[in-house]
Structure 1
Amino acid sequence: MYCFGIDVGGTTVKCGLFQTDGTLVEKWEIPTRKENKGEYILPDVAETIQNKISEKGIDKAEVAGVGVGIPGPINAQGEAACAVNLYWGFRPVAKELSELTGLTAKAGNDANVAALGEAWKGAAAGSQNVIMVTLGTGVGGGIISDGRIVAGAHGAGGEIGHANICHEETAACNCGNSGCLEQYASATGIVRLAKKALAESSEDSVLRNTESIEAKDVLDAFKSGDALAVRVMDEVGEKLGGALGIFAAVVDPDAIVIGGGVSKAGQPLINLIEKHYKKYAFSLCKDTPIVIASLGNDAGIYGAAKMVL
């Protein structure tokens, strides 16, 4: 038996053909055509699936279904409230894809789907309860409980980046609120904190000689022991570790997975998060392992495939 895992991004659609035991048979990409409010995206996905079935000589009866991850809130019925990066308003994604392919279809938020992938075949393989945080330009998240994605009533389940963790913050987050985790633990948040620290202090730092500071510069300086960068990252670790402690008290995860570009800082970042997490976590959750995601850009297709199984 086979299944398809699809991860729709703003530039490309990642596609995977899997055996139902999780073996990846083949992966490929097609362009994300966003013209006319993204009306071609799902038909293009359906076409590439039909072409792959024909190319491999697979009987449609042997295909368990197709799962798809979308960058936006998706409810338990597979309906997208909106997906601004795809120019979609409301869209019954699972229903449309099922009608276009003649296959069982399920849809989920891309970050939640990536979390499911890591829980199935990635860094938390075999775990039934997982919290995943992706630290990129923003902070994404996904929660797996008893082996299933927590989507919530509005598809907002797992929006870890928009948990309010600083009531005193006055700067606005992209979501419109203030004090969100994303304002501290994302790549842009790390740069913001570094610039603030440089403005408020005259201490020597390699970052003072950096023309256009990026998160990687701060992380490299942190790993080399630069005092200002260490202080900035300690604030990041405290905010993220504290937030994870709160979520762990709700989910009681087998593992916490850290992904996204910032996670490339590796074990020094994990050690920092663990230090603060252990300080704030409920006693029974203090020893929950915090691990770096291992599937990379393939997490979405693995999780999408797992949704239909």
Structure 2
Amino acid sequence: MAEEKIIGIDLGGTTVKFAILTTQGEIQQKWSIQTNILDEGSHIVPDIVESINHRLNLYNMQAEDFIGIGMGTPGSVDRKKGTVIGAYNLNWKTTQPVKEQIEKGTGIPFTLDNDANVAALGERWKGAGDNEPDVVFITLGTGVGGGIVMEGDLLHGAAGCAGEIGHITVDPDGFECTCGKKGCLETIVSATGIVRVARKLSEEYAGASELKQLLDSGEEVTSKDVFELAEEEDQLAMMVVDNICYYLGLACGNIGNLLNPSSLILGGGVSAAGEFLRSKVVAYFKQFTFPQVTESTRIKLAQLGNDAGIIGAASLALKLEE
């Protein structure tokens, strides 16, 4: 019999990404379908089942060839029941019995977790985490999320909220967050937060600056623009980047002092700023950590990009054997 395989699914608001992997985490096949969120998202799970079955038929594979399927999903996940609720970008307003439907439709064991958690698993297993047991992943995108792997296991917490790094308070008098409190990390270092910081600092800035000109004339400005202008030594842009790296370094310092992971990995769209971002965050991280943590916890850039989710999701399936 051929070596058993695993399937990873990364369920997003616009696309569903799939991969078939070996148990060592090597991707053998990848494909994707559009996420159909019409009719309260009722087509999503049937589409997933149909896509998997079509792929197995196409390549003459059987359900028995697979250990299991793992999936990362937005929303609140009940891992025991295999259900999801509150994934508003999928139009899922009621509890979705995902595990039951996918196992019935494919005949393959199924498990799932939150999308930020599975991205953390992916980076830990095959990316910047070097498969070490203690790794924290921070995703800097439209929002800020994360996942915490300690002693080889994901931390979930009493209500499944462990790893909500975006809601660490870094500035009690800061911007209001969608969660209802003020000064969350997400309000400053997310893609939208960075632009918000730029607008605020621009109001008080009197010097010459291309960034200020763009903001004052009502041009569309992105976090990418801010970083690019900072690299060109635009004075206002450099102030903005220093400001956000201060708060990100502060949050990373607190995480480091609390958990002492071997790797603190920065991923998501904002992390595309690369070493320019990382080196500035490291400088503040050193300021906010005590010596043993400063020396043993490394801040790294994510390596897997969009594959982190499918690789991490697939790794969930390996736990089905245990």
Instruction: Tell me the TM-score normalised to structure 2 length.
Output: 0.91
**Superposed displacement of residue 163, structure 1:** 1.5
**Superposed displacement of residue 104, structure 1:** 1.3
Q: Which residue of 2 aligns with 1:298?
A: 307
What is the percent sequence identity of the aligned residues? 41
**Superposed displacement of residue 37, structure 1:** 0.9
Q: Is the 8 A contact 1:76 1:153 kept in 2?
A: no
Aligned positions of 1:240-255 closer than 5 A? 240-255=248-263
Aligned equivalents of 1:152, 1:94: Cα separation in 2: 21
Q: Is the 8 A contact 2:211 2:229 kept in 1?
A: yes
Q: Residue type matched to 2:167 in 1?
A: H
Q: Which residue of 1 aligns with 2:278?
A: 270
**CA offsets 1:239-282 (integer angstroms, 9 cap, x no match):** 11111121223322110111111111110100011011111124
**CA offsets 1:116-164 (integer angstroms, 9 cap, x no match):** 0011111213122111111111112111122222222322221111112
Three-state SS of the structure 1 residue aligned to 2:148 is: strand
Q: Which residue of 2 aligns with 1:52?
A: 55
Larger mean CA deviation between 253-262 and 142-151 belongs to 142-151
Match among 192, 197, 203 for residue 199 of structure 1: 203
Q: Which residue of 1 aligns with 2:151?
A: 146
Q: Residue type matched to 2:166 in 1?
A: G
Match among 116, 123, 133 for residue 118 of structure 1: 123
Q: Which residue of 1 aligns with 2:19?
A: 16
Q: Which residue of 1 aligns with 2:188?
A: 184
**CA offsets 1:62-93 (integer angstroms, 9 cap, x no match):** 20000011012324424323211111132343
**Superposed displacement of residue 213, structure 1:** 1.9
Aligned equivalents of 1:130, 1:80: Cα separation in 2: 25
Q: Which residue of 2 aligns with 1:228?
A: 236
Q: Which residue of 2 aligns with 1:214?
A: 222
Structure 1 residues 249, 91: closer, same or farther in 2, change over 3 A?
A: farther
The question of 1:81 aligning with 2:89 is answered: no
Three-state SS of the structure 2 residue aligned to 1:66 is: strand
Aligned positions of 1:85-164 closer than 5 A? 85-88=89-92, 89-164=94-169
Q: Is the 8 A contact 2:124 2:132 kept in 1?
A: yes
Q: Is the 8 A contact 2:64 2:108 kept in 1?
A: no
Q: Which residue of 2 aligns with 1:66?
A: 69
Q: Is the 8 A contact 2:63 2:106 kept in 1?
A: no
Q: Which residue of 1 aligns with 2:8?
A: 5
Aligned equivalents of 1:16, 1:135: Cα separation in 2: 24
**CA offsets 1:185-235 (integer angstroms, 9 cap, x no match):** 111111111111110121221212222221111101211222222221111
Structure 1 residues 241, 231: closer, same or farther in 2, change over 3 A?
A: same
Aligned equivalents of 2:108, 2:253: Cα separation in 1: 40
Q: Residue type matched to 1:240 in 2?
A: L
Q: Is the 8 A contact 2:79 2:111 kept in 1?
A: no
Three-state SS of the structure 1 residue aligned to 2:132 is: coil
**Superposed displacement of residue 52, structure 1:** 1.7
Q: Is the 8 A contact 1:76 1:155 kept in 2?
A: no
Larger mean CA deviation between 199-208 and 1-10 belongs to 199-208
Q: Residue type matched to 2:148 in 1?
A: I
Q: Is the 8 A contact 1:74 1:151 kept in 2?
A: no
Aligned equivalents of 2:153, 2:35: Cα separation in 1: 28
Aligned equivalents of 2:100, 2:287: Cα separation in 1: 45
**Superposed displacement of residue 289, structure 1:** 1.5
Instruction: Tell me the TM-score normalised to structure 1 length.
Output: 0.95
Q: Once superposed, which parts of structure 1, at least 4 consecutive aligned residues long, lie more than 3 Å away?
A: none
**Gap runs ≥5 in structure 1:** none
**Superposed displacement of residue 25, structure 1:** 0.8
Structure 1 residues 223, 75: closer, same or farther in 2, change over 3 A?
A: farther
Three-state SS of the structure 2 residue aligned to 1:53 is: helix
Aligned equivalents of 1:113, 1:63: Cα separation in 2: 19
